[in-house]
Amino acid sequence: MRFRPRRYQCPNCQWDFAFRKKRCCPGCGTLLLIASDVPTDAELIAIKSFWLWEPIKEKWDYIRDWEEHKREAMRRFEQHTQEWRTGMVKAEEKLHSPRRWIQ
């Protein structure tokens, strides 16, 4: 899995380039962020919308509203952890089920 693309292709103007100067496309100036840029939350709130590299999908993902995206990601994370906890509780119950003792 690559955390940044080998070559960049701007999702806005389709410009193909190898070096991303100032985190922008040299053709149209579209902001293209990758994980290693490490922007602060305050910067992302100020920017509001941008393109973010998704390493699992290996494509650019457009973030229309950072605040909304962040809330949705937290909701999905909480849902995932809740499902995980529920699974762990069920597994614990199976491990510690009452045993019949021979008398």
Chain segment 23-77, per-residue pLDDT in tens: 888 888 888 888 788 888 899 899 888 998 888 888 889 999 999 999 998 999 9
Strands 50-54 and 16-17: unpaired
Give SS3 for 29: coil
The H-assigned helical ranges of the chain are 41-47, 66-95
Which pLDDT score is estimated for 26? 81
Q: Tell me 6's DSSP state.
A: S
Determine if the pTM surpasses 0.85: no
Which pLDDT score is estimated for 101? 53
Which pLDDT score is estimated for 64? 92
The rounded distance, in Å, linking the Cα atoms of 58 and 60 is 7
